[in-house]
Amino acid sequence: MTFSLLTVAYWCVFLACGLPYFAAWIAKAGGFGPHDNMQPRDWAARQTGWRARANCAQANSFEGLPFFIGAVIIAHQLGAAQARLDMLAAAYVVLRVIYIALYIKGIGSARSAVWALGFLVNIAILFVAR
């Protein structure tokens, strides 16, 4: 694989794929032990507060990935203006980071607004092609 062929948008896909694991790491940091690894989903189901919200942010991050990945690939295939595509893909990743932070902090209204913006960015990526 030639890394020089990867656009900023493709690197954003790579980063977005890491965000669910980042949220899971936050959920488990300092509270997940070796014995919990026997049944990690049971451990996650018992969590409350910010740990539970971090786990939910993980799930939502996985749920949002297919649309983002598909939108970026489709935009590339349709010959999207690269600078615009890169900007929109970077905006999506930034919005998802903000979304995770708001989710963990329990700020629901702002979190929902940021989610909606991310969804609109995905739609814009689909229509950025020339």
- CATH number for 6-30+37-126: choose from 3.40.50.460, 3.40.190.10, 1.20.120.550, 3.30.750.24: 1.20.120.550
Q: Kindly list the distances between the CA atom of residue 96 and the CA atoms of 38, 46, 79, in Å, as whole numbers in the listed order.
A: 30, 25, 25
- pTM comes to 0.92
Spatial contact of 85 and 128, defined as CB atoms under 8 Å apart: yes
CA 4 centroid distance within chain: 24
pLDDT tens for the chain, residues 1 to 130: 677 789 999 999 999 999 999 999 999 998 888 888 888 888 889 889 999 999 999 999 999 999 999 999 999 999 999 999 999 999 999 999 999 999 999 999 999 999 999 999 999 999 997 6
